[in-house]
A and B are shown apart, each in its own frame.
Chain A
Amino acid sequence: EAQVTQNPRYLITVTGKKLTVTCSQNMNHEYMSWYRQDPGLGLRQIYYSMNVEVTDKGDVPEGYKVSRKEKRNFPLILESPSPNQTSLYFCASSADRSVVDTQYFGPGTRLTVL
């Protein structure tokens, strides 16, 4: 089954404790992206990657890091989480940058930073 998976689905952590949210897709997609969704603010792009070893900042990259060492994986790293990073996070992928509109979203990761 074609899908985007994220782990963990739910996470409660404390300020300053480094964490990684994994994202994996099995569709051989080149383009992957991370979004955060907050009430009243909608979906905002954090980082994106157009291919292996090619990443760039989205609209709200502060406090986040990403890497793209393999085509299928695109982890999101919070080196020192803060309460303002409490949010619902979605990973998404599309075949390539030319079809970025047809994005397949993962199930989401609900993160709470205390």
Chain B
Amino acid sequence: QKEVEQNSGPLSVPEGAIASLNCTYSDRGSQSFFWYRQYSGKSPELIMSIYSNGDKEDGRFTAQLNKASQYVSLLIRDSQPSDSATYLCAVRGSGGSNYKLTFGKGTLLTVNP
């Protein structure tokens, strides 16, 4: 079974700092990677997707992908208390599993005012 691992957390950062969230995956053929945000008691929502090696920036969020190392990360710059949530890394399967998303267990981020 394909696996997606995230740093267990919880991660606590002060307001204005950079939060760094990490994820590794086992399916070497995977080509699509995603970060979902889930507020407590709510459903997950997609915030970033990345398909190519390197960085992808969207506002305060930067996703980084290194397929050779099977590693994905999410950086949140100028962290705000409203960023406090659980962040889920998701990886789309390859080959016959390309219709599936496998999620990591999530990392709880707390941004302290």
Contact of B105 among A40, A102, A108 (CB under 8 A): A40
Counting chain B residues whose Cβ lies within 8 A of the other chain, the interface size class is 20 to 34
Interchain CB contact under 8 A, B104 and A31: no
Interchain CB contact under 8 A, A100 and B92: yes
Determine the residue in chain A with the shortest Cβ distance to B1. Answer: A59
Which listed segment binds B: A14-22, A41-49, A61-69, A77-85? A41-49
Cβ contacts under 8 Å, A41 to chain B = 105
Interchain CB contact under 8 A, A31 and B43: no
23 examples of A-B residue contacts, CB within 8 angstroms: A31-B99, A41-B105, A42-B104, A42-B105, A42-B106, A43-B44, A43-B88, A44-B103, A45-B100, A45-B102, A48-B99, A48-B100, A97-B98, A100-B92, A101-B90, A101-B92, A103-B101, A105-B43, A105-B44, A105-B45, A106-B43, A107-B42, A108-B42
